C-alpha cells in the first residue's frame, strides 16, 4: 500500500485524518513540528505546544503509528514569526498561517515524505485536492473550509498532499474521534498564533 506521513498537531482533525487514511489502506506515519519556545504559550488551543506534542504522541500510540518530531523553531521564527511582527509594526495585517502553509508546512512535510520514502503527505485541513492534477477546491463543510489556508502553496506540492477531511463535516469528525475513544475528541479548535 502507498505510504503517507500525516502532519499531526495534537488536535482532533489531524487525529481523525490519521484514522481515515489507515481505513483507506495507507501505511501511515505521523510527524509533529516543534515551532515555538515559550512555555507561557502552552495552551490547549495552540497546535504546536508541549501539551499538543504529548497528545500527538498519545494519539499515535492509540492509532498504532510511529511519530516523528521535527524541531523547526529557528526556521519558523525566521520565516513566519519575525516577518509577522515586522508586518504588524508597519500597520499591516499579516496572514502567518497561510505563510506557514506555503513556506514551512508544505515544504517540510514534502521533505519528510521524501526522507521516509513515502508517496504522500497529509494534514487535517478542510479542503479537497486532486493529487493527479493538483487542483484544490473547497471542503464540504462551508463553516470549516480551509482552502484559503493553502492558497499560497505551490501547486507542485498538491500532487503529494492528501486532505482526507475535505469530504466531511466537522461534526462528523468529532463523532468519529469520540467513537474511537481518541483523547483529542473534545479538544477545542486551535485559535492562537504559534
Residue 189 CA to residue 45 CA, distance in Å, equals: 6
The rounded Cα 53 to chain-centroid distance in angstroms is 13
| Known catalytic membership, residue 47 | no
| Known catalytic membership, residue 194 | yes
Residue 22 CA to residue 8 CA, distance in Å, equals: 14
Given 48, 60, 97, 100, which residue is catalytic? Answer: 100
Q: Say how many CA atoms lie within 13 Å of 178 toward its Cβ.
A: 8
Active site (catalytic) residues: 100, 194
Amino acid at each position: 500500500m502507498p505510504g503517507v506521513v500525516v502532519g499531526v498537531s495534537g488536535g482532533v482533525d489531524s487525529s481523525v485524518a490519521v484514522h481515515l487514511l489507515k481505513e483507506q489502506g495507507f501505511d501511515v506515519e505521523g510527524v509533529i513540528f516543534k515551532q515555538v519556545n515559550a512555555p507561557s504559550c502552552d495552551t490547549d488551543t495552540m497546535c504546536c505546544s508541549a501539551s499538543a506534542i504529548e497528545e500527538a504522541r498519545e494519539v499515535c500510540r492509540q492509532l498504532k503509528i510511529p511519530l516523528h518530531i521535527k524541531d523547526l523553531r529557528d526556521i519558523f521564527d525566521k520565516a513566519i514569526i519575525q516577518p509577522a511582527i515586522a508586518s504588524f509594526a508597519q500597520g499591516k495585517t499579516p496572514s502567518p498561517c497561510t505563510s506557514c502553509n506555503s513556506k514551512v508546512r508544505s515544504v517540510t512535510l514534502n521533505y519528510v515524505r521524501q526522507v521516509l520514502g513515502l508517496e504522500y503527505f497529509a494534514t487535517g485541513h478542510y479542503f479537497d485536492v486532486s493529487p493527479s492534477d493538483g487542483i484544490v477546491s473547497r471542503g464540504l463543510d462551508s463553516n470549516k473550509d480551509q482552502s484559503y489556508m493553502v492558497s499560497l502553496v505551490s501547486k507542485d506540492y498538491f500532487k503529494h498532499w492528501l486532505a482526507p477531511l475535505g469530504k466531511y463535516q466537522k461534526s462528523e469528525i468529532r463523532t468519529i474521534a469520540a467513537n474511537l475513544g481518541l483523547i483529542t475528541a473534545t479538544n477545542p479548535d486551535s485559535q492562537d498564533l504559534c
